[in-house]
Copies of this chain bind each other. A is one copy, B any other.
Amino acid sequence: MRVLITGGGGFLGQKLARRLAADGHLRGGAISELVLIDLATPAAPAPAPFPVTATACDISDAAALAPVFARPFAVIFHLAAVVSGAAEADFDLGLRVNLFGTLNILQAARHGGTCPVVVYASSVAAHGGEEPLTITDGLELNPQTSYGSQKVIGELLLNDMSRRGFLDGRGLRLPTVSIRPGRANAAASSFMSSIFRDTMQGGSANCPVGRDYEIWHSAPRTVIANLIHAATLDGAAFGPNRCLNLPGRTDTVGAMIAAMTLVAGPEPASRITWNHDPVIEAIVMGWRNRVVPNKALALGFRADASFADSVRWFLEDDIEKVR
């Protein structure tokens, strides 16, 4: 089976590619080829028991996607997106990639003629506004960012095209992924990883919100396991709504720092600065940080047991010494 990852150069795309390379199979079948696309040519996982094609491709350009889809895929992981801060700074850029880019991927998937499994990364940013503070299944989505709005539009397209039998979609509203490896980026949630990652790597990082701010989060290992699980399930198990809230954990910034200190000692926390940023705060205060993901739990998606695990997994999987 041929598998595609969009946003294949991102940290989730790279981790997913390495996991697929380690597994060699998906949905009970051997993977015959893995294709990774991103704006810049992604790194290929090595070693891999199957050929890997890594290509630069702008998903907002339907013509550029045509050669990628010249042969059909059995499974597509659609992770590519303009992140929250960038989509808020540039409305048209967010529309182009998050709405039109997603539609281009779904239309290309549809026209492959194989009704492929499409696993779509939506976001907890789908929630906000008039929704209650604690999110349960079945609430009217009222996102308060352009990123969140565009993610929900993708959910609607995924659901409708699944209903029509064009593709077999599964949409997961990801918690903030922490601890994300790599560099700080334009996501408003960037600090939710950098205050742990950058300080454990010997650098410093700023926390733009208070210690009492609650984060709805999940570790990269857990999110990758849930993306694989989403691809593995029978699509009908999702019911008429193929999109759901993934499990995660609610912890305050302070409790997460304490967990880091427990695992990694007191030094990293001493390198966190506390300069309030009202722009970041305005975005993240509009998100929800308490979610009761009953549908996902019933379908066998995994929750994190502790943030201390996330710290340990970061030290095992991802830490880079930057000085």
Q: Which residues of A contact B (CB under 8 A)?
A: 91, 95, 103, 128-131, 137-144, 146, 149-150, 152-153, 156-157, 159-161, 163-164, 166, 239-241
Task: Indicate if the CB atoms of B160 and A149 lie closer than 8 Å.
Answer: yes
Q: What residues on B are CB-neighbors of A95 within 8 Å?
A: 103
Q: Which 5 residue pairs of A and B lie closest in terms of their CB atoms, listed nearest first?
A: A129-B240, A149-B160, A130-B241, A142-B241, A138-B140
Q: What residues on B are CB-neighbors of A128 within 8 Å?
A: 240
**What would be 17 A-B contacts, judged by CB atoms less than 8 Å apart?**
A91-B161, A91-B164, A128-B240, A129-B240, A129-B241, A137-B140, A138-B140, A140-B241, A141-B141, A142-B159, A142-B240, A143-B159, A144-B163, A146-B160, A149-B157, A149-B159, A153-B156
Q: Which residue of B lies closest to A140 (CB)?
A: B138
* CA–CA, A95 and B164, complex, Å: 14
* CA–CA, A157 and B153, complex, Å: 9
Task: Indicate if the CB atoms of B129 and A143 lie closer than 8 Å.
Answer: no
Q: What residues on B are CB-neighbors of A153 within 8 Å?
A: 153, 156-157
Task: Indicate if the CB atoms of B143 and A140 lie closer than 8 Å.
Answer: no
Task: Indicate if the CB atoms of A140 and B142 lie closer than 8 Å.
Answer: no
* CA–CA, A71 and B166, complex, Å: 42
Q: Which residue of B lies closest to A95 (CB)?
A: B103
Task: Indicate if the CB atoms of B129 and A146 lie closer than 8 Å.
Answer: no
Known: A130-B240, A138-B140, A153-B157. 17 other contacts (CB 8 A): A95-B103, A128-B240, A130-B138, A131-B138, A137-B140, A138-B139, A139-B139, A140-B141, A143-B160, A144-B163, A144-B240, A146-B160, A149-B156, A149-B157, A150-B160, A152-B156, A156-B156
